[in-house]
């Protein structure tokens, strides 16, 4: 077993390739009326270009998606953004259907190094998630500023959102900060759903997790997943 594979298995057991993860989301929902002609996908991942293959897989499978992207995958589009996405959903059969993909990302290097990746035509190692690495460094240095910076809006919102949880981490590192971001993203997603989705005419599904970049391809660790159909909660497993 390679050092990368060992680290992936230890830190993110049951991780699937991006292709397999997305394909399984589609297969799980088909029997509940969700498919590419009846559903709009909404995607909250980091702006980083290395997250793009997952977005491409989602769009190839589910059709054109509404972009919720922000640094680290944090959800900042608010009620207006969610409302816009919902108003773009197909509704030919009288119901709307939304599928939400929401997750932060992290890299694991060839030798199992956490946070390390390489990028095409760039020498040396790079990192992911860069925004979370900045947050971690500033938090450890005691230099976080949680006021909204108009010249750095998304990073300052990230700092503001994650700062309270950071204080509770026993041994803060990139792994624990990524999990902190996962928890915050899921919480914010479910709050926005509660504020904007009307179950009398809409069904939806949530696929959360953590995107993990390896030296050759990327994976998704599946987090909390479920569907709400006609107001009833249906467990979903990929």
> 13-22 pLDDT, tens per residue?
999 999 999 9
118: tokens are 């390489």
Strand partners, 218: 213
Low-confidence ranges of the chain (pLDDT < 70): 1
Residue 212 domain-assigned?
yes
Whether omega before 91 lies within 30 degrees of 0, making that bond cis, reads no
pLDDT of residue 157: 96
- Look up the domain containing 216 and give its range: 3-125+182-235
Residue 163 domain-assigned?
no
Going by their DSSP bridges, the two strands 232-235 and 218-229 should be labelled as antiparallel
**Alpha-helix runs per DSSP H in 32-129:** 52-62, 78-87
pTM, two decimals, is 0.93
pLDDT of residue 209: 97
Number of domains, the chain: 1
Residue 20 domain-assigned?
yes
Residue 214 domain-assigned?
yes
pLDDT of residue 1: 57
Residue 144 domain-assigned?
no
Residue 27 domain-assigned?
yes
Residue-wise pLDDT for 144-185, tens only, equals 888 999 999 999 999 999 999 998 998 899 999 999 999 999
In the 8-state DSSP scheme, what is residue 170?
Answer: S
Residue 226 domain-assigned?
yes
């Amino acid at each position: 077993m390679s050092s990368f594979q060992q680290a992936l298995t230890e830190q993110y057991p049951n991780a699937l390739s991006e292709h397999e993860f997305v394909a399984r989301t589609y297969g799980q929902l088909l029997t509940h009326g969700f498919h590419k002609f009846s559903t709009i996908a909404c995607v909250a991942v980091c702006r980083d270009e290395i997250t793009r293959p997952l977005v491409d897989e989602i769009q190839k499978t589910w059709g054109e998606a509404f972009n919720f992207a922000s640094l680290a995958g944090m959800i900042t589009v608010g009620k207006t953004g969610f409302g816009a996405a919902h108003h773009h959903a197909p509704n030919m059969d009288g119901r709307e259907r939304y599928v939400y993909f929401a997750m932060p990302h992290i890299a694991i290097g060839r030798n199992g190094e956490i946070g390390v990746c390489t990028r095409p035509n760039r020498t040396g190692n790079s990192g992911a998630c860069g925004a979370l690495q900045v947050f971690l460094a500033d938090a450890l240095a005691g230099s976080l500023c949680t006021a909204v910076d108009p010249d750095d809006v998304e990073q300052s919102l990230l700092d503001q959102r994650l700062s309270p949880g950071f204080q509770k981490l026993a041994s803060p590192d990139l792994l624990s900060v990524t999990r902190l971001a996962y928890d915050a993203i899921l919480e914010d997603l479910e709050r926005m759903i509660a504020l904007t989705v009307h179950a009398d005419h809409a069904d939806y599904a949530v696929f959360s997790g953590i995107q993990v970049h390896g030296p050759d391809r990327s994976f998704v660790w599946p987090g909390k997943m479920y569907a709400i159909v006609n107001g009833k909660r249906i467990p979903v497993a990929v």
